[in-house]
A and B are shown apart, each in its own frame.
Chain A
Amino acid sequence: MTESGDKPRLTREHLLDLLRHMIRVRMFEDKCAELYTQEKIRGFLHLYDGEEAVAAGIIPVLTPADRVVATYREHGHALVRGVSMTSVMAEMFGKQSGCSGGRGGSMHLFDAATNFYGGNAIVGGGLPLAIGLALADHMRGDDHVTVCFFGEGAVAEGEFHESLNLASLWNLPVLFVCENNGYAMGTALELTESETDIHAKAASYNMTSEAVDGMDVVAVEAAARRAVETIRRDGKPVFLECRTYRFRPHSMFDAQLYRDKAEVASWREKGPIVRFQGWLRENELAHAGEVEAIEKEIQAEIDASVAFAEAAEWEPLADLTKHVYAEA
């Protein structure tokens, strides 16, 4: 485990909170996978399995007034940000009581109450939005931070470069978080980038840039604290590359022809939950039965969210053309 110089308050409770966030996301998504096979959840379903330390390490560092822009692999971000599990699950079902009224589904979770500006299904499409959110805060003199999550696949998009340039040029309070899981769908990083050290690209835009072990929640959190503090102090963007891995396929219907099972297995060994949980136990920070209690509590929450989503109403067909323009 990283022994960071910028150690946050590593109280036992805080550490268990970090663990709880990750387990909650993992168990929720396992249930989603199951529900997908049963055709309760449809469309594309992109799971975050393996990358939980990134959302869990970064989002709790933010204040409620800060803003979050995420990708189509954003269930974890929404849950950690505080979007209720029931409304996320109902959204996955396409029910009216979902966090986006059922209109978005898995890839488009939105929540105004927590300043959660959505899963965006266009790779790189969320970056310019984050620039705009930060620009508004910058122009008004608000000290909010906008965190923008994206995968390393987005780095090949023009919008990535346009956005980094704009943020740095205009001194905008953006925390760029690249969740580098090594594969853009099925194409490995070295097959798509001439420079595979992504944080170096960001540095070329004249901004603070750091790479961190994205499988280590404590390291991620420490980096996030440094970054957010820097942004608030200097009013300039910071770039964080979190090196991580997804254990599951890109989406549910993916035979994973592009990577070896051995590779997946070796990454699983350094999985963010298994490592952190082990470390907590070794250091007697997690006591006997505590993890099990957390799991039990989360399982009850999941069961309740599924029951809620199952029972929730479908939006009436008469509402089909709602939410295209503001209601008069």
Chain B
Amino acid sequence: MPSLGADMEAGTLVEWLVQPGSSVGRGDIIAVVDTQKGAIEIEVFQDGTVDSLLVDPGTTVPVGTPLAMISGGADAPVQPVPSEPAEPASVPPVTVPPVPPKRAIVAPSPGDRVRASPAARKLAAAIGLDLSTLSGSGAGGAILYADVEGAGGKERQPAAGDGLTAMRSAIAAAMARSKREIPHYYLQYEIDVTGLQDWLAAANADRPPAERVLIGAACLKAVALSLRKFPDLNGFFEDGGFRPSDAIHVGAAISIRGGGLVAPAIHNTDQLSLDEVMAKLRDLTKRVRGGRFRGSELADPTVTVSSLGERGVDLLFGVIYPPQVAIVGLGSVTERACVIDGTVRPRAVITATLAADHRVSDGHRGALFLRKLGEQLQHPEVL
């Protein structure tokens, strides 16, 4: 099927004007082909005898398909018509200039975008400054180059004590955003951990110090188990809606020497044995303090537990780490005189707090959760 135009891709054979055995000469019309422009006569470009017809009338074939075999006259070889189909090899390879990889387009989520000019963003990135810690002087409060310059200086590495460290900036950004966006509510609940302490003492009796289970680990595990019934405290608030998480990855807030803290995840905390939780906690603590934790560990937690027990405070109200929706705070274990069955007895107690996102849950749910946590800690054997 000859190509009769750049826009012709196929043709339909309408009729043959020759038969096998017919002799043909260059320029003879041998067939009629129908195209989108109408019927066009097909001429042959060589002399010879038609050997065979390869395409039946009524058939549509692509350009380049042999229509007939013609054996040559005096010295022409047997050739199909056309003598050669389209020969892509003779066309220069069309090299398409490399297309730059498409960048993922991040749809702006309303409210959580910092409005800053490209120049301000570039400078902030260069000096490690978090733009969310700044207020802008530009149109609509946009942060401009001069604002960043004023806050962080020219494009240079910040000297010690000058401006904010990257860690400080990250904490500042996250906490500022949390307090700006998340309507926190707070609950506190005193839990008797005398039995837990006794149980732990017994369990740890034969273990070397490095293998002992600490009360912090037990609390982490208890929080995780309790959350199974409270999906509204475990998950993420993003793009204007809450997305509960099936998995429970408790983030354990660990302070860093020299300042700052991170809360990397202990993955699937509720499914680990208490010993495993303890081992993970030890490992994380060691790595965090050595500065070797993984970025993904910081992004994964579905809830955070922060304990200042070692620092001797009675209780702490946490600031939720967005986009999480809850943080459990644990104070130090203290001895209290408690009235039990009409007698005053010394008991070990811990004050647990909950700070939760009021957009997702209410105080009633939070209270039920703290009570569940208290109950859970009364049965260390199932932790």
Residues of chain B with a CB closer than 8 A to A37's CB: 2-4, 45, 82
Distance from B207 Cβ to chain A, minimum over Cβ atoms (Å): 73
Distance from B167 Cβ to chain A, minimum over Cβ atoms (Å): 50
Residues of chain A with a CB closer than 8 A to B92's CB: 314
Distance from A53 Cβ to chain B, minimum over Cβ atoms (Å): 19
B29's closest neighbor in chain A, by CB?
A261
With A38-B82, A38-B83, A43-B6 known to touch, is A255 a contact of B90 (CB < 8 Å)? no
Establish whether residues B5 and A252, one from each chain, have CB atoms under 8 Å apart when the complex forms: yes
Establish whether residues A253 and B35, one from each chain, have CB atoms under 8 Å apart when the complex forms: yes
A42 on the B face (CB < 8 A): yes
A257 on the B face (CB < 8 A): yes
B34's closest neighbor in chain A, by CB?
A255
**Contact among A30, A43, A255 with B38 in the assembled complex (CB-CB below 8 Å):** A255
Establish whether residues B3 and A36, one from each chain, have CB atoms under 8 Å apart when the complex forms: yes
A34 on the B face (CB < 8 A): yes
| Bound Cα distance from A156 to B3, whole angstroms | 32
Q: Mark B3-20, 1 if CB is under 8 A from A, else 0.
A: 111111000000000000
Q: Mark A49-82, 1 if CB is under 8 A from B, else 0.
A: 0000000000000000000000000000000000
A190 on the B face (CB < 8 A): no
Establish whether residues B87 and A39, one from each chain, have CB atoms under 8 Å apart when the complex forms: yes
Distance from A148 Cβ to chain B, minimum over Cβ atoms (Å): 29
**Contact among B35, B43, B86 with A38 in the assembled complex (CB-CB below 8 Å):** B86
A251 on the B face (CB < 8 A): yes
B25 on the A face (CB < 8 A): no
With A39-B87, A40-B90 known to touch, is A255 a contact of B6 (CB < 8 Å)? no
Contacting B at CB under 8 A, from A263-315, are: 310, 314
Establish whether residues A255 and B95, one from each chain, have CB atoms under 8 Å apart when the complex forms: no
Distance from A33 Cβ to chain B, minimum over Cβ atoms (Å): 8
Establish whether residues B27 and A30, one from each chain, have CB atoms under 8 Å apart when the complex forms: yes
B43's closest neighbor in chain A, by CB?
A33
* Contact residues of B: prevailing secondary structure: loop
Q: How many B residues face the partner with a CB closer than 8 A?
A: 27
A254 on the B face (CB < 8 A): yes
Distance from A85 Cβ to chain B, minimum over Cβ atoms (Å): 18
| Bound Cα distance from A252 to B43, whole angstroms | 12
Establish whether residues A255 and B40, one from each chain, have CB atoms under 8 Å apart when the complex forms: yes
B84's closest neighbor in chain A, by CB?
A38
**Contact among A33, A34, A254, A317 with B95 in the assembled complex (CB-CB below 8 Å):** A317
Establish whether residues B86 and A39, one from each chain, have CB atoms under 8 Å apart when the complex forms: yes
Establish whether residues B5 and A257, one from each chain, have CB atoms under 8 Å apart when the complex forms: no
Residues of chain B with a CB closer than 8 A to A38's CB: 2-3, 82-87
With A30-B27, A43-B6 known to touch, is A253 a contact of B37 (CB < 8 Å)? yes
Residues of chain A with a CB closer than 8 A to B201's CB: none
| Bound Cα distance from A43 to B4, whole angstroms | 10
Contacting A at CB under 8 A, from B62-121, are: 63-64, 82-87, 90, 92, 95
Residues of chain A with a CB closer than 8 A to B7's CB: 253
With A34-B45, A257-B38, A317-B95 known to touch, is A251 a contact of B5 (CB < 8 Å)? yes
Distance from B99 Cβ to chain A, minimum over Cβ atoms (Å): 15
Residues of chain A with a CB closer than 8 A to B5's CB: 251-253
Distance from B85 Cβ to chain A, minimum over Cβ atoms (Å): 8
**Contact among B2, B39, B64 with A255 in the assembled complex (CB-CB below 8 Å):** B39
Residues of chain A with a CB closer than 8 A to B64's CB: 39
Distance from B239 Cβ to chain A, minimum over Cβ atoms (Å): 45
Distance from B217 Cβ to chain A, minimum over Cβ atoms (Å): 65
Establish whether residues A255 and B37, one from each chain, have CB atoms under 8 Å apart when the complex forms: yes
Distance from B44 Cβ to chain A, minimum over Cβ atoms (Å): 9
| Bound Cα distance from A39 to B5, whole angstroms | 9
| Bound Cα distance from A99 to B83, whole angstroms | 27
Residues of chain A with a CB closer than 8 A to B87's CB: 38-39
B85's closest neighbor in chain A, by CB?
A38
B2, B4, B35 — most chain A CB neighbours (10 Å): B4
Q: Mark A23-45, 1 if CB is under 8 A from B, else 0.
A: 00000001001101111101100
Distance from A31 Cβ to chain B, minimum over Cβ atoms (Å): 8
Establish whether residues A253 and B4, one from each chain, have CB atoms under 8 Å apart when the complex forms: yes
| Bound Cα distance from A33 to B64, whole angstroms | 15
Residues of chain A with a CB closer than 8 A to B38's CB: 255, 257
| Bound Cα distance from A314 to B94, whole angstroms | 11
With A30-B27, A34-B45, A314-B92 known to touch, is A254 a contact of B37 (CB < 8 Å)? yes
Establish whether residues A310 and B90, one from each chain, have CB atoms under 8 Å apart when the complex forms: yes
Distance from B29 Cβ to chain A, minimum over Cβ atoms (Å): 10
Establish whether residues B39 and A39, one from each chain, have CB atoms under 8 Å apart when the complex forms: no
B88's closest neighbor in chain A, by CB?
A39
Residues of chain B with a CB closer than 8 A to A249's CB: 40
Establish whether residues A253 and B90, one from each chain, have CB atoms under 8 Å apart when the complex forms: no
Residues of chain B with a CB closer than 8 A to A42's CB: 6
Q: Mark B33-55, 1 if CB is under 8 A from A, else 0.
A: 00101111001010000000000
| Bound Cα distance from A132 to B160, whole angstroms | 76
Residues of chain A with a CB closer than 8 A to B37's CB: 253-255
| Bound Cα distance from A256 to B92, whole angstroms | 33
6 further A-B contacts with Cβ under 8 Å, apart from A38-B2, A253-B6, A253-B40, are A33-B45, A34-B45, A39-B3, A39-B63, A253-B8, A255-B40
A contact set with B: CB distance below 8 Å: 30, 33-34, 36-40, 42-43, 249, 251-257, 310, 314, 317
Chosen A-B contacts, 20 in total, with CB atoms closer than 8 Å, are A34-B45, A36-B4, A37-B2, A37-B4, A38-B2, A38-B3, A38-B84, A38-B85, A39-B3, A39-B63, A39-B86, A39-B87, A252-B4, A253-B4, A253-B5, A253-B6, A255-B35, A257-B38, A310-B90, A317-B95
Question: Top 3 nearest A-B pairs by Cβ distance?
Answer: A253-B5, A255-B38, A37-B2
B contact set with A: CB distance below 8 Å: 2-8, 26-27, 35, 37-40, 43, 45, 63-64, 82-87, 90, 92, 95
